[in-house]
Amino acid sequence: MTFSLERLGATTVVSVDGQLTLNNRGELRERVLARLADGETDFVIDFADADYIDSSGLGVLVSLSKHIRDGHGRLKLAGLNEDLARLFALTKLDSLFDIAETRAAALGET
């Protein structure tokens, strides 16, 4: 997995490319938590270019959601493909996360 973080207005957008797994979840967690510690509170994680999330990847998303909520911020997920959307539905995590179809929708641009 590769990912990039960019600031768009008041929101930090994390773009995930590839797979979110045990091997790389720690880096994602550290980078998002560093931004949270720097005072950034609104996050969108864009999965438009991602194709797989394992259970440890789901776990880090749940953990980040809690940290962001505790910091009075908000987290939105965007761009889930059909398989990832099904995974979130089967695990009932679609009720925990605010999920938008696209990055633009998550940012309120549409």
User: Taking residues 6-17, what's their average pLDDT?
Assistant: 96
What pLDDT, on a 0 to 100 scale, did the predictor assign at position 2? 84
43-93 confidence digits (pLDDT tens): 999 999 999 999 999 999 999 999 999 999 999 999 999 999 999 999 999
Domain extents in the chain? 2-105
Pick the CATH number of 2-105 from 3.90.76.10, 3.40.50.20, 3.30.750.24, 3.40.190.10: 3.30.750.24
Asked whether the beta carbons of 98 and 42 are under 8 A apart, the reply is no
What percentage of the chain carries pLDDT values higher than 90?
A: 95
What pLDDT, on a 0 to 100 scale, did the predictor assign at position 46? 98
Token representation of residue 103: 């990055």
Beta-carbon count within 10 A of 72 CB: 7
What mean pLDDT is reported for the chain?
A: 95
3-state secondary structure of 93: helix
pLDDT for residue 1 is more than 70 = no
Residue 59, H or E segment? helix 55-70
Asked whether the beta carbons of 73 and 39 are under 8 A apart, the reply is no
Distance CA 18, CA 75 (A): 20
